[in-house]
């Protein structure tokens, strides 16, 4: 009898893990418009962790403290600088937030800093008129700077987009939990999202401060 109960219990755990894992796979779906309903400027990341005996868990963490400025280079050119305070990422779990702060090297730099390539005012107007495309730039994590290209779209006066990348590209070790990551291990895959409300944003090339 005890053996039968143990077998049934084991099968139940395995079945639960399979169902949870399947649900996790279905839950994780790339969605470039995931922030489109946000009223505030927002930056977010999404990661997937594999939990021991449970399956896959998705974490989607937002940051509403993003700020930006336009910096002029001469009379006809400028670039955009975006600051994202690392402390602004709030997952609802202090341990997860502390770990993210460590991985993002907040002790070296309190912000993630994106800087666009230098654009002419005419180029910027063309980007806005096209309603979608990509912009090259760099993202600073800690003391290191990494070239990136961000996708963008414009819809309902909202500028939004994403960056599909990996932790290792930014020299970040994917988060783990437990001895040797036995309890939870995060995939080396990272989705970054942003949204800017154009109604609240100064038009590119106007009122930029001088470098």
The boundaries of the domain holding residue 84 are 2-210
More confident residue, 23 or 109: 109
Report residue 22's pLDDT band, with 50, 70 and 90 as the boundaries: very low
Q: How many CB atoms lie within 10 A of CB 62?
A: 20
Q: Residue 145 maps to which CATH number?
A: 2.40.128.110
Q: Read off the pLDDT of residues 55-105 as tens digits, 9 standing for 90 and up.
A: 677 888 999 999 988 888 888 888 999 999 999 999 888 888 998 999 999
Number of domains the chain contains = 1
Helix (H) or strand (E) run with residue 144 in it = strand 144-155
**pTM score:** 0.77
- Average pLDDT rounded to a whole number, residues 171-196: 80
Helix (H) or strand (E) run with residue 56 in it = strand 55-63
d(CA 112, CA 161): 17
User: With helix as H, strand as E and coil as C, how does 69-124 read?
Assistant: EEEEECCCEEEEEEEEEHHHCECCCHHHHHHHHHHCCCCCCCEEEEEECCEEHHHH
Report residue 23's pLDDT band, with 50, 70 and 90 as the boundaries: very low
């Amino acid at each position: 009898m005890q053996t039968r109960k143990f077998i049934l219990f084991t099968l139940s755990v395995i079945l639960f893990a399979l169902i949870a894992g399947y649900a996790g796979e279905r839950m994780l779906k790339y969605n470039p418009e995931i922030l489109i309903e946000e009223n505030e400027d927002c930056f977010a990341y999404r990661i997937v962790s594999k939990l021991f005996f449970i399956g896959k868990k998705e974490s989607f963490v937002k940051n509403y403290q993003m700020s930006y400025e336009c910096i002029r280079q001469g009379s006809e050119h400028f670039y955009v600088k975006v600051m994202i305070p690392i402390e602004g990422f709030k997952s609802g779990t202090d341990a997860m937030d502390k770990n993210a702060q460590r991985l993002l090297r907040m002790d070296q730099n309190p912000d993630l800093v994106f800087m666009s390539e230098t654009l002419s005012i005419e180029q910027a107007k063309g980007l806005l008129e096209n309603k979608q495309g990509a912009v090259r730039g760099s993202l600073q994590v800690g003391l290191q700077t990494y070239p990136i290209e961000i996708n963008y779209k414009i819809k309902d006066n909202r500028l939004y987009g994403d960056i599909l990348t990996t932790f290792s590209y930014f020299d970040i070790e994917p988060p783990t939990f437990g001895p040797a990551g036995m309890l939870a291990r995060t995939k080396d895959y990272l989705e970054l999202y942003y949204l800017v409300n154009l109604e609240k944003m100064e038009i590119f090339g106007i009122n930029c401060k001088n470098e």
